[in-house]
Amino acid sequence: MTAIITATELAHDLAGANPPVLLDVRWQLSMAKAAGAPAFDGRAEYAAGHIPGAVFVDLDQELTSAPGKQGRHPLPDLAEFGAVMRRAGVSAARPVVVYDGGQCWAAARAWWMLRWTGHPDVRVLDGGLPSWEGELSTEVPSPAAGDFVPEPDAAGFLDADGAAALARSGLLLDARAGERYRGEVEPIDRIGGHIPGAVSAPTTENVGPDGRFLPAAELRDRFKALGALEAPEVGVYCGSGISGAHEVLALAVAGVPAALYVGSWSEWSADPSRPVAVGPDPQ
């Protein structure tokens, strides 16, 4: 099993004896609302056309909880998350494929949530919906209830203290843009900079010009250069635990297990007692 799947492979699997559960998690980070423009509406995009059989999952309402001291996209209540997944037809013995509008950030968050809570077979559609060459549907499916029960793995999750410790004992990657890591700009959070000891590794460098993941060998070379292959443990954070999940996914494609600091910079920077580093030097 790999962490990603191509559209051709997905079409083949959907026609097979044990087709995957399909989850549509279209979402995008947008500043449009602040500017007075309508915010992106993933549910409306889903209603206008989706891969046949896909069930819509709302990232803001079902894969995260309300923003607060733990960041902009903290973990959802796991009992409620399990109920959402079961309503979508997710079962432990059936594979799951997740897709979004193409960036794969939201799909990666769903992938990480399912993998972290124990689902054994989850993949992300590389390239998202734009890569799908088959027909689209406006029919909303009513899948039979699944049996998936979340059982979190402590090894895949980091809190603020864990991230701080890992930056010293292992490798903590910052998946945000380099200028945010360096503290040159900060469009969202209270202050710019990075967690002391963290290494800059923008998640945008995990994909090619077409937005799809680089080949596994190229990703492995990238993460090797960052020290991931030698580090005893690897963790990732971003702004609020979304693009960081994409980097954890890229690491998985490269064969490197990694944990996610879900609160990320939105939690860290909101606490004035937490140290902040600026500039290109990790320290």
Tokens of 181: 């890591």
pLDDT higher than 90, residue 36: no
Model confidence at 51: pLDDT above 70: yes
Q: Which two tokens stand for residue 190?
A: 């209270």
Q: Which residues neighbour 229 within 8 Å (Cβ) at sequence distance 6 or greater?
A: 220, 223, 256
Residue 201, pLDDT score: 98
Give dist(CA 125, CA 147) in Å, integer. 23
pTM, rounded to two decimals: 0.95
- Count of residues in the chain: 283
Of the listed ranges 108-112, 153-157, 174-178, the least confidently predicted one is 153-157
Please say whether the dihedral angle defined by the alpha carbons of residues 24, 29, 34 and 38, taken in this order, is positive or negative: negative
Q: What residues are paired with 22 via a beta bridge?
A: 97
Taking residues 265-270, report their average pLDDT: 96
Q: Active-site residue among 59, 88, 238, 253?
A: 238
| DSSP element (H, E) containing 266 | helix 264-268
- The pair phi, psi for residue 236, each rounded to 5°, is -140, 145
- pLDDT grade for 142, boundaries at 50, 70 and 90: very high
What is the arithmetic mean of pLDDT over 47-60?
97
Query: What is the per-residue pLDDT across 218-261, written as a single tens digit (0 to 9) for each?
Result: 999 999 999 999 999 999 999 999 999 999 999 999 999 999 99
DSSP state of 121: -
pLDDT-derived band at 1 (thresholds 50, 70, 90) equals low
pLDDT at residue 11, rounded to an integer: 97
Who has greater pLDDT, 257 or 35? 257
Active site annotation includes 238: yes
Q: What is the mean pLDDT of residues 96-114?
A: 97
